[in-house]
């Protein structure tokens, strides 16, 4: 079961890498790889590669902020917030995002604002749609 989830997660990371490359980004994709180590009649699984600053992908493009991406197939983001909040990000020069694939195939893109991940858009059928928030209207006094 864990191998199936890992394979699906790695496939999603590959999809992100391909999508970003098509947009002109150069991407480093740090996929999870595990290794079986036989030890005293049992097998111990260990991770051979670790994330870079809790991120799965790092992308660069001329005249753009360096893009750090966490990818996930899970619905909740609480664990992802814990992983990213203790890193001293310079959000003037770095863009930290969470790409979350839904069962529907839609990819929700969230951006770290220093405290929380905020929805910025979604990718539907390989096209990015910017999240449009309605303007806040002051309540009318009666």
Distance CA 71, CA 10 (A): 9
Give the residue extent of every domain in the chain: 2-130
Residues 6+ apart with CB under 8 A from 127: none
Q: Which one of 1.10.3470, 1.25.40, 3.40.50, 3.40.1350 gives the CATH number of domain 2-130?
A: 3.40.1350
Give the DSSP H/E element, type plus range, for residue 14: helix 2-22
Distance CA 70, CA 12 (A): 11
How far CA 86 is from CA of 37, 82, 98, 112, 115, in Å, comes to: 32, 7, 16, 12, 10
Query: What does the pLDDT read at residue 60?
Result: 97
pLDDT in tens, 60-94: 999 999 999 999 998 778 888 888 998 999 999 99
Is pTM beyond 0.95? Reply is no
- Mean pLDDT of all residues in 120-140: 81
Kindly indicate the confidence band of residue 97, based on its pLDDT and cuts at 50, 70 and 90: very high
Q: What φ, ψ does residue 19 adopt, rounded to 5°? A: -60, -45
């Amino acid at each position: 079961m864990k191998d199936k989830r890992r394979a699906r997660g790695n496939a999603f990371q590959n999809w992100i890498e391909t999508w970003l490359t098509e947009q002109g980004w150069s991407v480093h994709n740090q996929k999870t790889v595990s290794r079986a180590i036989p030890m005293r009649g049992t097998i111990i699984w260990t991770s051979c590669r670790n994330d870079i600053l809790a991120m799965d992908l790092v992308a660069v493009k001329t005249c753009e902020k360096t893009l750090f991406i966490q990818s996930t197939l899970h619905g909740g983001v609480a664990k992802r917030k814990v992983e990213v909040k203790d890193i001293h990000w310079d959000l003037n020069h770095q863009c930290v995002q969470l790409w979350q694939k839904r069962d529907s195939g839609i990819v929700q893109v969230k951006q770290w604002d220093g405290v929380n991940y905020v929805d910025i858009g979604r990718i539907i059928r390989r096209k990015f749609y910017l999240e449009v928030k309605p303007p806040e209207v002051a309540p009318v006094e009666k």
